[in-house]
């Protein structure tokens, strides 16, 4: 019998899930309903399901009719891909209604909402799964296996540098993410991936966090200090923005046009805001230190205006060193094939034994988004067992990843270290 899923939030991020159900896993899974605040976006999703996958249109419910949707469709699992600040609303409502949940990262955006989710899981006994696709990328799982095998002994320190370029990185400053109330900033929305990877690699949890972060590149004031003036709030159809390399035209992409330009009349959401305009409350330059329960220490940086996309990470241990360098494809969310989102272009993984010969560790270059992690994760979620494999992330994993970012945000404000254990009660 096929498991029934309902989807909440039909923006560009949702396609990875509904396409997997409609195409590769239709023998095991069935999408039974859509839910969103915007009818135009739901209509577009239904048109894709019908035109590309030959499915009948699904019932479409407005957000205020969420409980009605559950009652009428018999959905067993709710997939949450809505705006970050609303994740907790649908997660908790689904749990209270006796449903399990699959949620996009981040699980939520602040400590209070995180506590509410944790309490709801304990109260209901239902499950919350967070879709950390980077865990499944072959190069990232290879690092986990190296460390677990004792290849470098006990890990003492980790240096992790993540680079977002001026295509993908800039995109966070065009969208709803630019308002920290919506996304928790990049420390939560984006770095939740990275902090989860460190937890996953070290098999430990963050204990103390200290960080510094600022908005240095994007925003009106920074641009004008550099003598760069862009007197427009958005960029589609604006003559003055034609030669702006940071501008996007929503009408140039059929997907973005359908999901955002054509849907704007309903909610006023502008997907193409000027990255050098006003109203940006998130940081673009961030440095963080974390001590873990196993006494490992992480130094981490995230910059959102780099000339290339990808990351470098190194591990120093009692028995040697591991270095991983990954270059990823640049992309704009919803502006191209989802398989290209974070796809690996180049991977170098090295093992340096303390008293041995350095070696290159062979890694499969897997196809698909997020270093090949998307396809493996989707198989894990929607495949035959529907049970989740060794890399599946639950609510505790979701909490531990965002709590590092939430603590970093607090440290940005106070200039002091933050004890993660004092943020919520797990």
Q: Tell me how far apart the alpha carbons of residues 51 and 29 are, in angstroms, rounded to a whole number.
A: 19
Question: Angle between the 395-414 and 111-124 helix axes, to the nearest 10 degrees?
Answer: 160
- Tens of pLDDT, residues 300-338: 999 999 999 999 999 999 999 999 999 998 877 765 555
Of the two residues 88 and 343, the one the predictor is more confident about is: 88
For the chain, list the domains and their CATH numbers.
3-132 (3.40.50.720), 134-218+280-371+393-422 (3.30.360.10)
pLDDT of residue 370: 73
**Helix H or strand E segment including 332:** none
154/195 Cα distance (integer angstroms): 19
The pLDDT score that the predictor gives to residue 389 is 73
Task: Give the C-alpha separation, 167 to 333, whole Å.
Answer: 10
Among residues 57, 62, 29, which one has the least CA distance to residue 44? 57
* pLDDT value for 17: 97
Mean pLDDT calculated for residue range 43-56: 97
Token pair for residue 145? 């296996």
- Paired with 349 in beta bridges are 324
CA distance 174 to 158: 32
How many whole angstroms from its chain centre is CA 222? 27
Q: Work out the pLDDT band at 387, boundaries 50, 70, 90.
A: low
CA dihedral 198, 200, 202, 208 (to 10 degrees): 50
- Residue 336's closest CA among 15, 4, 110, 39? 15
pLDDT of residue 338: 55
Higher pLDDT, 244 or 341: 244
- Taking Cα atoms as reference points, which of 171, 187, 181, 8 lies closest to residue 85? 181
Pairing of strands 155-165, 297-306: parallel
Q: Is the bond preceding 263 in cis, omega lying within 30 degrees of 0?
A: no
Stretch 198-222: mean pLDDT, rounded?
98
Burial class (CB in 10 A: 0-12, 13-18, 19+), 299: middle
pLDDT tier for residue 61 given thresholds of 50, 70 and 90: very high
> Residue 369's pLDDT is what?
73
∠ CA(25), CA(31), CA(36), 5° rounding?
135
On the question of pLDDT at 385 being above 70, the answer is no
pLDDT at residue 202 greater than cutoff 60: yes
The whole-angstrom separation of Cα 122 and Cα 124 is: 6
Is the pLDDT at 347 greater than 80? The verdict is yes
DSSP-assigned states of every residue in 235-293 = -TT-GGGTT-TT---GGGSHHHIIIIITTHHHH---TTB-TTSS---S-SEEEEEEEET
Res 194 pLDDT > 60: yes
């Amino acid at each position: 019998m096929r498991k029934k899923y309902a989807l909440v939030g039909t923006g560009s991020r949702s396609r990875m899930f509904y396409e997997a159900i409609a195409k590769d896993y239709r023998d095991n899974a069935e999408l039974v309903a859509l839910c969103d605040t915007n009818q135009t976006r739901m209509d577009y999703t239904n048109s894709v399901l019908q035109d590309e996958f030959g499915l009948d249109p699904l019932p479409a419910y407005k957000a205020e009719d969420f409980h009605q949707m559950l009652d009428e469709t018999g959905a067993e699992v709710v997939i949450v891909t809505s705006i970050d600040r609303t994740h907790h609303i649908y997660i908790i409502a689904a749990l209270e209604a006796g449903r399990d949940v699959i949620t996009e990262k981040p699980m939520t955006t602040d400590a209070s909402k995180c506590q509410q989710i944790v309490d709801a899981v304990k109260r209901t006994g239902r499950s919350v799964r967070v879709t950390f696709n980077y865990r499944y990328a072959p190069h990232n799982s290879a690092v986990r296996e190296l460390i677990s095998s004792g290849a470098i002994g006990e890990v003492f320190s980790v240096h992790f540098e993540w680079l977002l370029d001026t295509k993908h990185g800039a995109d966070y400053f065009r969208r709803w993410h630019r308002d920290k109330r919506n996304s928790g900033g990049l420390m939560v929305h984006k770095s939740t991936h990275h902090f989860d990877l460190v937890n996953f690699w070290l098999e430990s949890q963050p204990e103390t966090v200290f960080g510094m972060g600022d908005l240095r590149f994007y925003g009106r004031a920074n641009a004008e200090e550099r003598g760069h003036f862009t007197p427009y709030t958005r960029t589609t159809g604006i003559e003055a923005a034609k030669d702006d390399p940071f501008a996007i035209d929503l009408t140039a992409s059929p997907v973005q046009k359908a999901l955002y330009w054509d849907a704007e009349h309903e909610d006023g959401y502008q997907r193409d805001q000027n990255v050098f305009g006003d109203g940006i409350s998130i940081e673009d330059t961030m440095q963080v230190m974390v001590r873990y329960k196993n006494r490992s220490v992480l130094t981490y940086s995230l910059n959102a205006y780099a000339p290339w996309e990808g990351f470098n990470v190194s591990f120093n241990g009692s028995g040697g060193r591991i270095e991983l360098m990954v270059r990823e494809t640049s992309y704009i969310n919803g502006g191209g094939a989802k398989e290209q989102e974070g796809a690996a272009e180049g991977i170098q993984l090295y093992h340096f034994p303390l008293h041995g010969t350095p070696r290159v560790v062979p890694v499969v270059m897997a196809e698909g988004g997020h270093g090949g992690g998307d396809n493996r994760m989707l198989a894990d979620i929607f495949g035959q067992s529907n049970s989740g494999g060794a890399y599946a992330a639950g609510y505790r994993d979701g909490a531990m990843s965002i709590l590092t970012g939430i603590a970093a945000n607090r440290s940005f404000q106070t200039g002091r270290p933050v004890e993660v254990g004092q943020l919520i009660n797990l």
